[in-house]
Structure 1
Amino acid sequence: MLHIRRLLCSSLVLCLGFAGVAGGAEPFEGFLEKHCIHCHGPLLEEGDIRIDRLSRDFKSGADTHHWAEAIDKVNSGEMPPATEAQPTQDEIAAFVANLDARLKEGRAARMAARPAVAHYRLSRKEYQNTVYDLLGVRYDPTKPGELNEDTLWHGYERIGSQLSLSPSHVDRYYRAADLVLDRAFPAAPGEARTVRKTAAELRYGGGKAQQAALDRFGVKRPLRYLLYPGNVQPALAPHWFGRTGPEQSGLYKFRVQASGIRPPGGQTAHLSVGVRTGEETVDGLIEFDVTATEDDPQVYEFEAFLEMPATLHFCVVSTDVVDRRQGAAFRNALGSSSYIFTHSSETALLNPNAPQMFDGDGNGIFSTVILDWMEWEGPLVTEEEASRRQGVVPPEDAAPEAVADYLQRFAERAWRRPVTVDELENYLQSYREERDAGETTAGAYRIALQGVLTSRNFLYLVEGDPTARARLTDAELAARLSYFLWSSMPDDGLFAAARDDALEGEVLEKEVDRMLADGRINRFIDDFSRQWLQLHLVGTFPPDKALYPTYDDWLETSMRAEPVEYFREMFAKNLPVEDFLDSDWTMANARLCDFYGLPAPKTGGFQRVSVKPKDHRGGLLTMGAVLGLTSDGTRHRPVHRGVWVSEAIFNKTPPPPPANVDPIEPIPPQGTKITIRQRIEAHANNASCAACHRNIDPLGLAFDQYDAVGQWRTREQVPTGVGEDPVVDASGVMPDGQTFADSAQFKQLLLEDRDEVARAFIEHLCTYALRRVLTVDDQDGVQAIFEEAKRGQYRVKDVVRAVALSDLMRTR
């Protein structure tokens, strides 16, 4: 087939056909005159391109992207159009070789003239990881008042040209450094304690009166805490921690013995623990499905970093209760001390005046969580975290030379390169001035540490030196690799290899393989997949509750996690890239299994789940997150879905719509109900829209059998108009004439373009790794990675490894 990727964005592509020399003119210009100017010149300007006006100064690189696109079109055989005279293959080859030589000559000239220094500011996530790996400090830069939000470029939050530094950034970086140092070297470290609370203590104030009632009824089961939807209930009170204050903030480990009651046909019980945001909601710090049964409870264990003073609450997340709860009366009755619970079979204990929670057979009416006990331990400091702070601060009686040595060692780790004492003179001078003013060694040294942590050498990846050069030093390469694969600074092993100038050949391969096997690779998995797939858009337009009543916060969180967990499985199993397009499995938790109609998992959390054709799932394109992020909360948007497929799967960004194009109007109350597809087709009849819609729409219309939140349907729910809801039509015609009947057949067409999907994936990886937009100058490097990946059948982990070991990673 004619590659789908090459059919995208054709309105931007040059309709070039190249043949022999015209009229004895210089060969290059002769080709253009004979086969290009007719369609792209003063008489006709297809695609808004004028060949006669494109720059011939290839050293400037002004129009190299247009010339590179011309090569792509000519090589693919798409141009000249079938209605025009066709050049021979020899003529095409001669011209392409000529043009390619000009592009490479210009590229070499630009490389030689590049600035000596490049700066790439750390993203918030990278800053967070770096201070943890440097000092073992947990710091959340996304909290209100902390670091400024990163500017995105097509979902990527680490593109150097986008990450500027404003005065407000500088002020926040100083505050962040203070907080990091406070946590690394607290004035009074908190002692770790363990506190355990039973259900009787949590719910019944000790439960003496309730226990007496149980004795009267002859009930031998213990009191249990019934957590029900529609109510936020206390979980952790500040006085449980003893002393409160910033010095007690830290990492806490929690253990909860719990079980869940799932009503027939209802949702798996789900518990959210976090900060209360409303009468029925919390901002979840900890989220998990409770799949254990009432008679076989399970101990759930998790960790969280708490800022003191902390007051957390429980909230059972469910949509079952929306229409049945009876407002305040429901919560007051079930929350009263007279409502005693031990087991769903003990109905005699339940307050008869309270709204029902169980039917006569003991089946739950709502999804509920039963809590037996809760235990917390903290604040905790792991041995690994503590080791990262050892040897950072000099002893109180340290001589000035020793202080300089301490600071030099710290700065080399923080700045990720060799550092001379002369570079630290300003920081050491500040230290000396503080000491002269009577400050302790530790207090004065802290000023120097703050200077190191607010230096551009820490906040930026600095590549280059005063002498212009084409390749990175080993220290710069180590940093580029670590921020690619770990989203953080190099570790001691990578530092050592860089210090010995040994990052090449077998040593480099060994280091990359070690990094790929290290647990920190999960940062790459989390960060790359989230940015590549633009998952920040999930939930941008909250679905209308009236139209999508089963949609809840936990479903949204689960949807956002599914593509990430899917990528993690593909990376761990080294699966081929075609599984991104279609597969007979997905990664799902209990909530997603409910939503997709899949068999419920036996345990909580995400796990690999088999899917069959009747499930209409498999691969990224039919995941709820992908289908939902391209919707507007009330309806699906096929054009936006097509744009997402174009960008994420083929790395091609379609041109923006023309100015002053009329929007798609809603159906009037008395109008006939028609599908969004039919309305788009009427819209696309506009001549200024038709060219782009022809290439974008099929990519989105293929998924019209999925609604705005990604549920399968056969009819489109149309809220206005008269008549029956229309039958969905997910068929389409690709620009090359190939047809498909539905998303399953469309996926097969994509699978035939496996090479192009793999190339686009490589380009996305390179954009992420290099922290910049790829240009025509990178084509040779991308091609080398592509050929290496193809030999390995495009297996995901192998592709990532090929990028890490590529010449592009070593080139400035």
Structure 2
Amino acid sequence: MRLSCMMLAFFYGATVVSAAEPYEAFLQAHCIRCHGPEMVERNLRIDQLSRDFKSGVDGHLWAEIVERINAGEMPPEDEPQPSENEIAAVIAQLDTRIREGRAARMAARSPVAHYRLSRQEYQNTVYDLLGVRYDPAQPGELNADPLWHGFERIGSQLSLSPSHVERYYRASEIVLSRAFPEQPVESQTIHKSAAEIRYDGGKRQQEYLDRFGIKRPLRALIFPGRELQALRPHWFSTGASKSGLYRARLQISGVRPPGGQTPHLRIGKRTGEGTNEGLIELDILAPEDKPEIIEFEVFLEMPTSLDFNVVVTDIISRDKGAHHRNILGGSDYVFTHTSETTLLNPTGPKLFDEDGNGIFSFVLLDWIEWEGPIESEAEQATRTGVLPSADASVEVITQHLNQFAKRAWRRPVSNDELLPYIKAYEEELAAGEDMASAYQIALLGVLNSRNFTYLVEGDTQSRERLNDWELASRLSYFLWSSMPDQALFDAAAAGKLTDGELANQVDRMLSDPKIDRFVNDFPRQWLQLHRVGMFPPDGNLYPEYDVWLEASMREEVKQYFREVFSSNLSIDSFITSDWTMANSRLCEFYGLPAPKASGPQKVALRPEDHRGGLLTMGAILGLTSDGTRHRPVHRGVWISEAIFGKTPPPPPANVDPIEPNPPDSPKATIRHKIKAHTQNASCAACHRNIDPLGLAFDQFDAIGQWRTHERVEKGTGDDPPVDPSGEMPDGRGFADAEQFKQLLLEDRDQFLHALIEHLCSYGLRRVLTVDDREDIGAIVEEAKRHNYQLKDIVRAVALSDIMKKR
């Protein structure tokens, strides 16, 4: 039985502290042969690792060596095995040396640490600070955030360049102009009928209907390939002051052909061919004679124009849509109801077959209404009192600016810190500006200070722990991706966060609607969902794949995480479950019964559906593909990182890529081809731990479809059957993905440990080190006491000791 490092250090500590040679002798006898000058497995040279444990240069590698020796992975089974006493001694020796360096490394840290806000955090912060909506991801706005294993908030990655400074300044100007416009912004409501949208008013078409005695109103027919404007720039008065939140209502229905897809409507911006940049995605389930009224809200940068576009990929729609486009798009094609198309358009192309069924999916629009920009009372109240009165003295101006800076900088502010901004205010007044304009220059300075764009932790003297104000910000940016609210500020000002009030504040934050930001952001970063669609699937190989399916796959992951979190389910649900969250499009793709309502619904799964948990979701299976084929090695690396929290080393530079199957050779699976890597000694050590993790899902192709045979484009013979069997690194075997997932459940403690590390990296905004192992272990034990339930795990992280440390 392997003893834990902590127990070994306790029993052997007095002996090993004074011994310098035992671990060197062990390494020479059992490790250097595979990790030394003669052989370098996994690019690790143990003989070249730094022995200066206080510097911590190679501390993470030494920690991994301790872990692998303790787990029995080093030395491998085919090498001479050390005794239990030898293992105990070397682990204790190395573990003690690592611990000895911890205090020295802490003392060596800089007194102050700066963590720049990500784009998403900047957006949330200016909204919570001033009630202003601003989209930093728009072209020309804030720079994209560099990623570290999917995380976009790691401080060491978020540098500040001259281009950042310029764009931050412009962003703060936009934010202040929207918060304090020169003229009051009035909301407008615009109602457009189908006749106005489709027929430019429809006067001539209505005369045609009257002549035939048709009483039904004109409707806009939207079919694949046909774009119809949903919002035109001149409907609202132009100008940036009109940018904001808009509410839309539309009456709509759809027609679905037998065996075809549910009609789907995208409302978005024109990007060349079609409206690929979707702002709103809607599955239309209402039948023609029972249209539904759909309402949604969307942020719009004005002036702008939006289009309707029907998105489907079934073969009928793809063939017929382009053929009908010109004729059906003309003003002479009048539409009111499917039962009247023959009468009204005897020479037009057929929309329906002899049985009255639609020949492709299309959408029927009756009217649309836009209202905006709209603001809630809470948003308006956010900036109440920010501007002083027009006759305010410099003292009053300073007081107002101090209160604003205190919230913006998330800490107490001295008036001396504000002197440069007050001076700028006075200079603007002297130059002839009115008070409001001059004061906004001071506000502009506050928003461009590093105290706003950075989370600042520490001061002139080194200290180990955060103060209450810093802890308030760390908690709020962990759970809300934004600044603290007033209740959290008040608790920090009273010095209560380091006392018993912390648990009450965390519970309140977990119940606040702003927790949706965590629910949306953390799984996206943890699971590296930015990679979904990075390599668009080949349309010839996967004609059933479209942008709506891709968006539906992403939404499944997000809504699934939301359900596990809000219901406080066990993290076992991430590995396997008998349910998922799917909309109509995804149900069609998975072969599940269609939901009765639009949007993601909780759908029951059967064993024959081959789904359940994160690992068999289309988004997860697709993000590790290259657009033409699945990549089991990449799938294995993803599982190693996301589920086990271990990043394999990069492959050697001279590894040959997997070549396409030769036309004159028997068709071979990718599994067969990657076996060649296991024959290479420098590759075998990693591949034996990676490949089985990915090969377990070989019954899913590049877009996550279930299959029994691998499609091989070239070669002789039939497509070969897939083989999802394999062995875990510890020798346990599995026959397929389901058995593999059951083995993962047996390893739930490893998964729990990895998930907590991901949560801590997200919350602490840094990469974890060997110095964090004890704190992580304490959170793991707390989570296990709460039966591995997700919300309780997040709560344990928020309340943990590591969250209170600098």
Superposition TM-score tier, normalisation by shorter sequence: over 0.9
Tell me which residue corresponds to 2:137. Answer: 142
Tell me which residue corresponds to 1:306. Answer: 300
2:68 maps to which of 69, 73, 94: 73
Secondary structure at the aligned position of 2:66 is classed as helix
The 1:346–1:43 alpha-carbon spacing in structure 2 relative to 1, beyond 3 Å, is closer
> 1:154 and 2:149 equivalent?
yes
> 1:539 and 2:533 equivalent?
yes
Shift of 1:724: 1.2
Tell me which residue corresponds to 1:704. Answer: 698
Tell me which residue corresponds to 1:10. Answer: none
Write the deviation string for residues 547-569 of structure 1: whole angstroms up to 9, x where unpaired.
01111111111112211111111
Q: Which amino acid aligns with 1:40?
A: I
Tell me which residue corresponds to 1:222. Answer: 217
Shift of 1:467: 0.8
Structure 1 contact 39–45 (Cα < 8 Å) conserved = no
2:429 maps to which of 405, 412, 435: 435
Task: Describe how 1:456-535 pairs up with structure 2 within 5 A.
Answer: 456-535=450-529
> 1:27 and 2:23 equivalent?
no
Write the deviation string for residues 18-56 of structure 1: whole angstroms up to 9, x where unpaired.
x999xx996342243045445316675553544444333
Write the deviation string for residues 457-504 of structure 1: whole angstroms up to 9, x where unpaired.
000000000011000000000000000000000000000000111003
> 1:720 and 2:714 equivalent?
yes
2:386 maps to which of 380, 392, 402: 392
> 1:207 and 2:202 equivalent?
yes
Shift of 1:81: 4.3
Shift of 1:183: 0.8
Q: Which amino acid aligns with 1:32?
A: E
The 1:283–1:30 alpha-carbon spacing in structure 2 relative to 1, beyond 3 Å, is closer
The 1:74–1:279 alpha-carbon spacing in structure 2 relative to 1, beyond 3 Å, is closer
Tell me which residue corresponds to 1:628. Answer: 622
Q: Which amino acid aligns with 1:196?
A: H
> 1:744 and 2:738 equivalent?
yes
Tell me which residue corresponds to 1:109. Answer: 104
Aligned length: 796
Shift of 1:704: 0.8
CA distance in 1, matches of 2:500, 2:291: 51
CA distance in 1, matches of 2:326, 2:82: 82
Write the deviation string for residues 746-774 of structure 1: whole angstroms up to 9, x where unpaired.
11111110111111000100010000000
Tell me which residue corresponds to 1:671. Answer: 665
Structure 1 contact 260–293 (Cα < 8 Å) conserved = yes
The 1:766–1:725 alpha-carbon spacing in structure 2 relative to 1, beyond 3 Å, is same
Moved more, 91-100 or 153-162: 91-100
Secondary structure at the aligned position of 1:564 is classed as helix
CA distance in 1, matches of 2:679, 2:495: 62
Structure 1 contact 333–353 (Cα < 8 Å) conserved = no
Structure 1 contact 272–316 (Cα < 8 Å) conserved = yes
Tell me which residue corresponds to 1:353. Answer: 347
Structure 2 contact 275–307 (Cα < 8 Å) conserved = no
Tell me which residue corresponds to 1:173. Answer: 168
Tell me which residue corresponds to 2:91. Answer: 96
Shift of 1:236: 1.4
CA distance in 1, matches of 2:26, 2:12: 8
Structure 1 contact 269–318 (Cα < 8 Å) conserved = yes
Tell me which residue corresponds to 1:129. Answer: 124
Shift of 1:86: 3.3
> 1:39 and 2:38 equivalent?
no
Structure 2 contact 226–329 (Cα < 8 Å) conserved = no
Task: Describe how 1:269-284 pairs up with structure 2 within 5 A.
Answer: 269-284=263-278
Q: Which amino acid aligns with 1:378?
A: G
Secondary structure at the aligned position of 1:773 is classed as coil
Shift of 1:218: 4.0
Tell me which residue corresponds to 1:647. Answer: 641
User: Alignment identity in percent?
Assistant: 64
Structure 1 contact 134–413 (Cα < 8 Å) conserved = yes
Could you list the runs of 5+ residues in structure 1 that have no partner in the other structure?
7-15
CA distance in 2, matches of 1:655, 1:87: 29
Write the deviation string for residues 50-73 of structure 1: whole angstroms up to 9, x where unpaired.
444433322111222122123212
Tell me which residue corresponds to 1:609. Answer: 603
CA distance in 2, matches of 1:778, 1:347: 70
Structure 2 contact 582–600 (Cα < 8 Å) conserved = yes
2:190 maps to which of 186, 195, 203: 195
Tell me which residue corresponds to 2:82. Answer: 86
RMSD: 2.4
The 1:304–1:25 alpha-carbon spacing in structure 2 relative to 1, beyond 3 Å, is closer
CA distance in 1, matches of 2:733, 2:347: 63
User: With structure 2 as the length reference, what TM-score do the two structures score?
Assistant: 0.95
Write the deviation string for residues 677-704 of structure 1: whole angstroms up to 9, x where unpaired.
1111134322322222111110111111
Tell me which residue corresponds to 1:574. Answer: 568
Secondary structure at the aligned position of 2:457 is classed as strand
Shift of 1:431: 0.6
Shift of 1:578: 1.1
User: With structure 1 as the length reference, what TM-score do the two structures score?
Assistant: 0.94
Structure 1 contact 256–301 (Cα < 8 Å) conserved = yes
Write the deviation string for residues 261-299 of structure 1: whole angstroms up to 9, x where unpaired.
111111111111111123533421211111112121111
Secondary structure at the aligned position of 2:694 is classed as helix
Task: Describe how 1:682-701 pairs up with structure 2 within 5 A.
Answer: 682-701=676-695
The 1:300–1:763 alpha-carbon spacing in structure 2 relative to 1, beyond 3 Å, is same
CA distance in 2, matches of 1:717, 1:496: 62
Shift of 1:208: 3.6
CA distance in 2, matches of 1:349, 1:235: 28
Q: Which amino acid aligns with 2:50?
A: S
2:799 maps to which of 798, 801, 805: 805
Structure 1 contact 340–349 (Cα < 8 Å) conserved = no
Moved more, 571-580 or 305-314: 305-314
Tell me which residue corresponds to 1:452. Answer: 446
Tell me which residue corresponds to 1:556. Answer: 550
Shift of 1:246: 2.1
CA distance in 2, matches of 1:326, 1:758: 50
The 1:724–1:51 alpha-carbon spacing in structure 2 relative to 1, beyond 3 Å, is closer
CA distance in 2, matches of 1:248, 1:419: 34
CA distance in 2, matches of 1:279, 1:149: 25
CA distance in 2, matches of 1:669, 1:98: 58
Structure 1 contact 474–503 (Cα < 8 Å) conserved = yes
Moved more, 494-503 or 330-339: 330-339
Structure 2 contact 527–642 (Cα < 8 Å) conserved = yes
Tell me which residue corresponds to 1:765. Answer: 759
> 1:777 and 2:779 equivalent?
no
Could you list the runs of 5+ residues in structure 2 that have no partner in the other structure?
none
